[in-house]
Chains A and B, each alone.
Chain A
Amino acid sequence: MTESTASQDIYLPMPATIEESKLLTAVDRFFRIRLSSGAELGHMPGQFVEVSVAGIGEAPISLSSSPDTTGVFELVVRKIGRVTDALHALPQGSPVGIRGPFGTTFPVAEALKGQDILVITGGIGLVPVRSAIQYMLNRREDYGEMAILYGTRTPADRLFTDEIEDWRARENVTYLETVDRGDEGWTGNVGVITTLLPKVEVSPVSTRVIICGPPIMYKFVIAALAARGIPLEHIYVSLERRMKCGVGKCGHCQINGYYTCLDGPVFNYAQLSDVPEAI
């Protein structure tokens, strides 16, 4: 071997601090985090970071804020495992380790520009998608029609309810939502996410779709879109896998030949149509 070793340790987290932590639902917690170096994270919508809690471990977490939010970045973490349990228990001001940003982005600054945007998201799929929504709303004139469809199990599972009201109030955004099961106060739609699709206009030519949700959602949503003539290359999906290392080494996040951490998590669906493990 003639090449010299790069001095940078790709596994070494950057020190950071939890500036704000608040519950959004019974199990989902919002975090605002600042890197101790004062540097910007420098991500784009769709990317993720590896979050370390020293002594517990590290987990891949989607970035939820747009890069327009400077100085800090935002995550939403579901309490669902060892690292995420520990994160939920950390008080504000606690140190965390951050690696990243990693992965591909929703092409908000490229292929989505000038197009009609349809965002279809379920559950905590809204977390990475929110970064793209914020980015596009901050540059609303760069895009055509914009619709957001959001589905959750129950009304209490909805994230970012304040922001949702802002989207609903906007004249230049169509916001529709549904729940699998309503409660006493719920007067909105009840049913799976695909029941919202007939309520929005789509164009095989100008509509670009962003999809992120639970694994079960993709198959049905994509079939419904295909039935309405949306070409596969106009669909962008963000997929979840076990992105242990984030740098294409550990092997856990493979989707057939793809590494979700390097080639994803955002894929153009045309890339995945012949990839049996994708959805």
Chain B
Amino acid sequence: MPIVKYITTDQLLVWVNALIAAQTVYGVQAKEQRFAYDALADAADLRLDFDVTILPPKKFFQPLVETIMKFHVDGHYESVTSEEPFIIFGVHPYDVVAIAQMDEVFRANYADTHYLSRRERATIVACDIQNASPSMFAACMGTATVEDGFDILLTKIGDGYVVDVRTAKGEALLVALGDAPDADAGTLARREQFWDDARRFLNKYLLKCKPTDLPALLEDQYEHAIWEHNAGLCYSCGSCNMVCPTCYCFDVQDEVDWTLEKGTRVRKWDSCMLRDFATVAGGHNFRRRREERYRHRFYRKGQYLWQRMGQIACVGCGRCTTACTAKIANPVELYNTLMEG
């Protein structure tokens, strides 16, 4: 039986504080005028009315800098994986979809224990979108609401929240909630209406095709003038990659400690927009021109990953659009331009 409760905002605060007392809880908090995930010290800091976080929750599964092994220069290597359980409180549907995509990426072919051990220890408390972000187009991408991929989904209805529990990990969190009534039929009907509206209205930009049309659209647009034009404005800064919930490319580096005998191998976020991303030893750069890198990113999102796993690697969060100084990262504008031929 699915568990669907209804709690007041006050109950939510008490519940979250009880969770914080028991384990690590990362939640959405205000960061100057914007929002970011950080460790929660007090439920009062939790801002479920956020529009979008600066960085997506991928940073909890694939940290910006992550130690993957320890070594001794005598050639001994030892794997390092994270064992700590944690809760992420306040994940919007588009980010839930992105996480499910990353799960598939890191599971496919060769399973990545570093990503997967973090992922398995995480409990995801998703939260329906109360405020649209400045550049979002989640409704166009079909990611304004979400059916699965989370442990609990919170939806603000009236002065309280519907708490929809889908997994055993989610149920485990309910112990700290204590008694709460089941959501009644009227509340659930209002939630359906809320979802209907979300699926229609959560767009600041309108993609003029279905997301599943993008692979075919890109088929004939490799030489379109937009690549060179926009790349002429691009700073190759990689901000679009950094904020993207479905960008996961990484570099791996060895760091030696002061003894010069021991050290760690770390992986760090990398960016396909950076000049040397495809450079091999000896200096040959297989994607030397800025327009090649700019085009590669959109093809990877709209076609290449689709070919590999049947999903468009864009969830309509709009973070890249907001982060781009040159104002050339907006996928909707780009794809709509391509549609004009």
Contact = CB atoms under 8 A, between A and B. Distances in A.
B278 interface: yes
Contacts of A15: 75-77
Nearest to B285: A242
B111 A52 contact: no
B280 A241 contact: yes
Dominant SS among interface residues on chain A: loop
Given A55-B256, A57-B253, A59-B281, A10 B111 contact: yes
Contacts of B260: 55
B111 A5 contact: yes
Interface stretch (B44-52, B227-235, B298-306, B323-331): B298-306
Interface string A236-279: 00001110110111111011110000100000000000001100
Interface stretch (A39-47, A77-85, A138-146, A182-190): A77-85
A111 interface: no
**Chain A: interface size category:** 35 or more
A84 B280 CA distance: 12
Contacts of A8: 111, 113
A249 B108 CA distance: 9
Contact of A54 (B71, B281, B296): B71
Interface string A184-216: 000000000000000000000000000000010
Among B105, B111, B253, B300, max chain A CB count under 10 A is at: B111
B77 A97 contact: yes
Given A10-B113, A257-B303, A252 B277 contact: yes
A160 interface: no
A259 to B, nearest CB: 8
Nearest to A248: B109
B263 interface: yes
Contacts of A6: 111, 113, 116
Contact of B119 (A1, A84, A95): A1
Dominant SS among interface residues on chain B: mixed
A68 to B, nearest CB: 27
A95 B79 contact: no
B221 to A, nearest CB: 12
Among A8, A59, A250, A255, max chain B CB count under 10 A is at: A250
Contacts of B250: 244-245, 249-251
B287 interface: yes
A11 interface: yes
Contacts of B304: 254, 256-257
B74 interface: yes
B113 A9 contact: yes
Contacts of A56: 254
A12 to B, nearest CB: 5
Given A9-B79, A256-B304, A257-B308, A248 B69 contact: no
Given A11-B79, A240-B280, 15 more contacts: A1-B119, A5-B117, A9-B69, A11-B68, A11-B69, A15-B77, A54-B76, A94-B75, A215-B284, A248-B110, A251-B270, A251-B272, A252-B278, A276-B222, A277-B292
Interface of B: 68-69, 71-77, 79, 81, 103, 105-114, 116-117, 119-120, 222, 248-254, 256, 260, 263, 265, 270, 272, 277-282, 284, 286-287, 292, 296, 299-300, 303-304, 307-308
